[in-house]
Amino acid sequence: MKKKLGLALAAALAIGLVLAGCGKKESSAVDTKDDGKMMTVTVYDDLANYQGTQGGWFGKLVKDKFNMKLNIIAPNVAGGGSTLFDTRSAAGNLGDLIITGSGSGRAKRLIKSGLIVDMTPYAKNMKYITKYKAATEELNKIADQKSGIWGVPSGVSTASPTEPSEGNDPTFGPYIRWDLYKQVGYPKLKTLSDLLPVLKEMQDKARQQTGDKKIYAMSLFKDWDGNMMNNAKQPTTFYGYDEMGFVLAKADGSDYQSITQSNGEYEKALQFFNKANQMGLVDPESSTQNYDTMYAKYQQGKVLFSFWPWLGQAAYNTDKNKEAGRGFEIAPVQDMKIFSYGATPNGGSTFIAVGSKAKNKARLVKFINWLYSPEGVYASSAQTNGSAGIKGLTWKLVKGKPTLTDFGNKVFFGGGANVPKNYGGGAYKDGVAALNYPTESVQDIDPNTGYAYNANMWPSTLAKNTTPLDKDWSAHMGGAKTTMDYLKKNNKILVAPGASYVQPDEESQVSTLRGQIKTQIVNSSWKMVYAKSDSEFNSLFKQMQTTVNGLDYAKVLKVDMQNAKDQQKARVAITKEYKNRE
């Protein structure tokens, strides 16, 4: 659910869209009628991690409300890259609904090629689309359009761009098995490096207690590697950095680093994992397993460190484990300053649009409008650490305040549950919206209840954080009620203002060089993790530097560095713009 659009998403440059360029924009005579018949809607979705017909409770909800079935076409499942986009674009029909990125000139080319339509004629009385007029206008700027509603951006929010968008937990952070940390005496952690000997103690303790020699402090995977080794990027986020191509940019604009920089944050992260491996803390299957295999190990209690809350906590922190005092909590690393994505008043870099060849466009626009309504936000974002799901099924109002039902508690905190037949049946997790598309931020306030769409932020849910695990963590974290509470009070978070910045179109030569360079960087990074000595590690790093420099790394780095600085300008601008709106 957390996969990002990679640069491959933006690689469909000439072939598909040029061939589709002969397509015509929709005629001015627009048919806004809807025949009302059952329709199967083809959804081209760059964010989806599932391909096929949407089933389960969300599928039934969509069918009941709109008489539609969603047939999802997912490049992530169909081999990745731009092949699927190119092929469908060349045929002049990308999909009935399209979820894709607006960057690298894609939004502009989709409009110019006649692959998507202006929703304006169908959007009358669509109050949730018009609610985010500033976001649709921002998309128009990106697409070089003076008017129209060509799509609605993702992740729109009414909150300030300088406020964290993530809720009770940030996107990133060093999370550890707190129960084992407790058993080894809560050692002080001045830096992330101090965590390694502590993890060794925790691993020894876990193996001793269970007799299982295959418990490891860390387990890694390759699935999400892009411009760099994804797992090695994560520790840099603990110190306020995030990636922009081959650049690590600090959230406040105070620093920009090449990932091949000597003694830089990326090299330090690789050293962290290499040291861990030399200490016997890294799962030997890390280089061959996928995310799903690794996730199952977390569920089984075989991994003790997580670089995301939505990994360790989601997999292991069941009610049963928490009542037994077991679970993942953020480690109190004294020098960390965790990167946080600010709320995005103008939306993010992806958007949803209507395809030019779609039938019953009026119904599709109604569906999009619904996705941005309170009911739609609750339903379509109901994934791990997401929104609360269907009112009446997973939650209800008790004395005017939202509260999870018994079923909802089983779903979110009890390891899952099967949905009643009248709601579609099957396992709840199998019925969540496979669109994987965040419309409005689930941290935003539902105007009907006065509380967030995210059930984890409700007073009724927070009041249940009374398990032995919750109490012990809170007692050792200054009485903090949530991770975000702890981070804010202790000035351990760095918010990157939520700007709708998208990378401009990239020259084909730069894209070609990037492809060659990132292969070298990723392969070298994995070798460095498994280096048997510091000298071997240093030799591999220097070799990587030499190799990529020979591939004209400087040319690509210049592009990324400019993009990182332009992104910071956009962050400053949205902060100023939001203040002027108030």
For the cut 90, the answer to whether the pLDDT of residue 138 exceeds it is yes
Query: Could you tell me the two tokens for 302?
Result: 């075989």
Which of these ranges, 54-63, 158-167, 491-500, has the smallest mean pLDDT? 158-167
Which of these ranges, 193-197, 284-288, 318-322, has the smallest mean pLDDT? 318-322
Round to whole Å and give the CA distance between 40 and 108: 27
Average pLDDT over residues 211-233: 96
- Given this model, what pLDDT does residue 273 score? 98
* Predicted confidence band of residue 47 (pLDDT cuts 50, 70, 90): very high
Round to whole Å and give the CA distance between 545 and 524: 10
Identity of the amino acid at 538: N
- Give Cβ neighbours of residue 572 (< 8 Å, ≥ 6 apart): 253, 497
- Given this model, what pLDDT does residue 503 score? 85
- Considering all CA atoms of the chain, what is the largest pairwise distance in Å, rounded to the nearest integer? 74
Phi, psi of 113 (to 5 degrees): -85, -5
pLDDT digits (tens, 9 = 90+) for 321-354: 999 999 999 999 999 999 999 999 999 999 999 9
Average pLDDT over residues 62-86: 92
- Given this model, what pLDDT does residue 64 score? 98
Which of these ranges, 4-8, 34-38, 60-64, 256-260, has the smallest mean pLDDT? 4-8
Round to whole Å and give the CA distance between 533 and 275: 9
* Per-position DSSP letters for 197-251, written without gaps between them: HHHHHHHHHHHHHH--TT-BSB----TT-SSS-HHHHHHHHTTTEEEETTEEEET
What's the Cα-to-Cα distance from 93 to each of 81, 362, 506, rounded to whole Å? 18, 18, 24
- Given this model, what pLDDT does residue 580 score? 86
Round to whole Å and give the CA distance between 420 and 405: 13
- Given this model, what pLDDT does residue 79 score? 78
For the cut 60, the answer to whether the pLDDT of residue 385 exceeds it is no
Query: 334: how many CB neighbours lie within 10 A of its CB?
Result: 12
Average pLDDT over residues 290-296: 94
What's the Cα-to-Cα distance from 506 to each of 75, 242, 256, 548, 558, rounded to whole Å? 21, 20, 20, 19, 12
pLDDT digits (tens, 9 = 90+) for 297-318: 999 999 999 999 989 998 999 8
* Angle, helices 508-529/553-581, rounded to nearest 10 degrees: 100
- Given this model, what pLDDT does residue 21 score? 43
Average pLDDT over residues 346-369: 96
Round to whole Å and give the CA distance between 189 and 199: 11
Average pLDDT over residues 553-570: 97
Provide the mean pLDDT of the chain.
Answer: 92
Report the percent of the chain where pLDDT is more than 90.
84
Paired residues of 341 in beta bridges: 496
Average pLDDT over residues 49-65: 96
- Given this model, what pLDDT does residue 29 score? 61
Which of these ranges, 383-387, 445-449, 574-578, has the smallest mean pLDDT? 383-387
Phi, psi of 53 (to 5 degrees): -80, 130
- Given this model, what pLDDT does residue 9 score? 38
Question: 182 or 81, which is more confident?
Answer: 182
- Given this model, what pLDDT does residue 33 score? 84
- Given this model, what pLDDT does residue 80 score? 72
Burial annotation 274-306 (CB, 10 A radius, 16+ → b, else e)? bbbbbeebbbeebeebeeeebbebbeebbbbbb
Instruction: Give, rounded to a whole angstrom, the gap between the first and last alpha carbons of the chain.
Output: 33
For the cut 70, the answer to whether the pLDDT of residue 28 exceeds it is no
Handedness of CA 370, 371, 374, 379 (dihedral sign): positive
- Given this model, what pLDDT does residue 35 score? 87
For the cut 70, the answer to whether the pLDDT of residue 61 exceeds it is yes
For the cut 90, the answer to whether the pLDDT of residue 418 exceeds it is yes
Round to whole Å and give the CA distance between 562 and 262: 20
Q: What is the pTM of this model?
A: 0.83
For the cut 70, the answer to whether the pLDDT of residue 68 exceeds it is yes
- Given this model, what pLDDT does residue 142 score? 93
- Given this model, what pLDDT does residue 357 score? 96
For the cut 80, the answer to whether the pLDDT of residue 116 exceeds it is yes
- Per the CB < 8 A criterion, the answer to whether 498 and 342 are in contact is yes
Identity of the amino acid at 20: A
What's the Cα-to-Cα distance from 229 to each of 174, 235, 528, rounded to whole Å? 17, 11, 11
- Per the CB < 8 A criterion, the answer to whether 304 and 199 are in contact is yes
- Give Cβ neighbours of residue 466 (< 8 Å, ≥ 6 apart): none
Round to whole Å and give the CA distance between 174 and 192: 8
For the cut 90, the answer to whether the pLDDT of residue 551 exceeds it is yes
The 3-state DSSP composition of the chain as helix, strand, coil percent (nearest 5) reads: 40, 15, 45
* Predicted confidence band of residue 26 (pLDDT cuts 50, 70, 90): very low
